[in-house]
């Protein structure tokens, strides 16, 4: 009797899964590096303005034109609103209050709202082992956050950073599940993403003008190098890979790249942000990753 391999061990799933985790694990740190130069809302707008142009160039390879039906545009606008506007306009300011590694660890729990929303919208089952793993991971997150509250400099509102991150998680989860709906899967992925990024960029620009005033263009080439990295690798490369995983294995399971992403992010946070590991932080990180692995093993693909 042959043993069926877990789907995440298949190269067509494993390769994009690992690439997304490695890319997004590094983007958290790059985001943190940009927060002093420009209001966060404008950094988001610049990132996705560049990413939109690159994504349309990529979609042009389909040679199907750029037209979509009204239904397609409504779906693209919804994904753009939640993924490329709300998600990132929560996440960027969140990193003003908590370290990038902790934001990444919190985002590792994206699998939870993804699984719940997928259960509601798509009927995807949730196993008891998945629930157990999530509870273990939550215990780890609590320890990490206790460390953040104890280590935070006076006047830094860690609670606000956590609340903003949770808002970003919920927004991203809505976009993830929308991408998995049959009406979205009928559209070519690259074309749908290009239009979603365009809609998201329009929302970003309107919001940035409203909350931060006219655009600011810093002269520092390091800033624009970071924007380019986030736009090209963090968006144009990573999102098609990730949304492709959603179409292949579903939104709950695609979010399992959160098992690896925090490892990369916390390592970079330690090297470049001076993150100090206490017993609470070590125990929390171990529990969070262990819980995510338990949840991962608890769902058959």
Identify whether 140 is part of a domain.
yes
Question: Of residues 232 and 99, which shows the higher confidence score?
Answer: 232
User: What is the pLDDT at residue 226?
Assistant: 93
Question: Of residues 89 and 265, which shows the higher confidence score?
Answer: 89
Question: Of residues 135 and 173, which shows the higher confidence score?
Answer: 173
Instruction: For residues 226-234, give the mean pLDDT.
Output: 94
> Which pLDDT tens digit goes with each residue over 122-165?
887 888 887 888 788 888 878 877 877 777 667 667 889 889 99
User: What is the pLDDT at residue 301?
Assistant: 40
Band the pLDDT of 9: cuts 50, 70, 90.
low
Identify whether 155 is part of a domain.
yes
Query: How many CB atoms sit inside 10 A of residue 124's CB?
Result: 19
> Which pLDDT tens digit goes with each residue over 249-299?
777 677 777 667 777 777 777 887 677 788 888 888 888 778 777 776 654
Task: Tell me the three state secondary structure of residue 28.
Answer: helix
Identify whether 2 is part of a domain.
no
Above pLDDT 90, what percent of the chain? 34
> Which pLDDT tens digit goes with each residue over 99-125?
777 787 788 778 788 888 888 888 878
Identify whether 78 is part of a domain.
yes
Identify whether 184 is part of a domain.
yes
Instruction: For residues 169-173, give the mean pLDDT.
Output: 94
Q: Give the helix/strand (H/E) hosting 26.
A: helix 11-34
> Which pLDDT tens digit goes with each residue over 185-209?
888 888 999 999 999 999 999 999 9
Tell the burial category of 59 from Cβ atoms under 10 Å away from its Cβ (0-12, 13-18, 19+). buried
**CB of 284 within 8 A of CB of 140?**
yes
Tokens of 122: 């798509």
> Which pLDDT tens digit goes with each residue over 47-82?
999 999 999 999 888 767 788 888 889 999 999 999
Identify whether 6 is part of a domain.
no
Identify whether 7 is part of a domain.
no
Residue 300 has pLDDT above 50, yes or no: no
State which residues form the domain around 118: 20-297
Identify whether 224 is part of a domain.
yes
**pTM for the whole structure:** 0.84
User: What is the pLDDT at residue 159?
Assistant: 85
Instruction: Tell me how many domains the chain contains.
Output: 1
Spatial distance between the Cα atoms of 261 and 23, rounded to a whole number of angstroms: 8
- Per DSSP, helices labelled H in the chain are 11-34, 40-59, 70-79, 88-94, 100-107, 111-122, 128-151, 158-180, 182-185, 189-212, 221-231, 238-249, 251-254, 261-272, 279-297
């Amino acid at each position: 009797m042959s043993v069926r391999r877990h789907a995440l061990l298949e190269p067509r799933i494993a390769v994009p899964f690992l690439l997304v985790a490695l890319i997004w694990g590094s983007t958290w740190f790059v985001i943190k590096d940009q927060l002093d130069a420009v209001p966060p809302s404008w950094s988001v707008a610049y990132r996705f303005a560049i990413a939109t142009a690159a994504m349309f160039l990529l979609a042009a390879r389909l040679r199907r034109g750029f037209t979509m039906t009204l239904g397609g545009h409504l779906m693209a606008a919804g994904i753009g609103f939640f993924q490329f506007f709300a998600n990132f306009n929560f996440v960027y300011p969140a990193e003003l209050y908590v370290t990038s590694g902790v934001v990444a660890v919190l985002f590792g729990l994206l699998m939870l709202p993804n699984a719940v929303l997928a259960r509601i919208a798509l009927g995807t089952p949730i196993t008891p082992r998945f629930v157990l793993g999530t509870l273990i991971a939550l215990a780890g997150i609590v320890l990490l956050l206790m460390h953040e509250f104890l280590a935070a400099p006076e006047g830094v509102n860690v609670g606000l950073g956590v609340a903003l991150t949770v808002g970003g998680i919920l927004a991203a989860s809505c976009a993830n599940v929308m991408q998995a709906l049959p009406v979205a899967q009928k559209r070519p992925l690259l074309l749908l993403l290009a239009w979603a990024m365009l809609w998201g960029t329009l929302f970003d620009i309107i919001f940035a003008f409203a909350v931060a005033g006219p655009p600011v263009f810093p002269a520092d080439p390091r800033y624009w190098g970071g924007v380019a990295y986030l736009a090209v690798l963090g968006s144009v490369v990573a999102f098609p890979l990730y949304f492709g995983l959603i179409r292949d294995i579903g939104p709950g399971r695609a979010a399992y790249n959160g098992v690896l992403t925090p490892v990369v992010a916390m390592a970079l946070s330690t090297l470049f942000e001076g993150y100090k590991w206490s017993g609470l932080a070590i125990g929390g990180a171990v529990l969070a990753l262990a819980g995510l692995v338990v949840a991962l093993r608890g769902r058959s693909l």
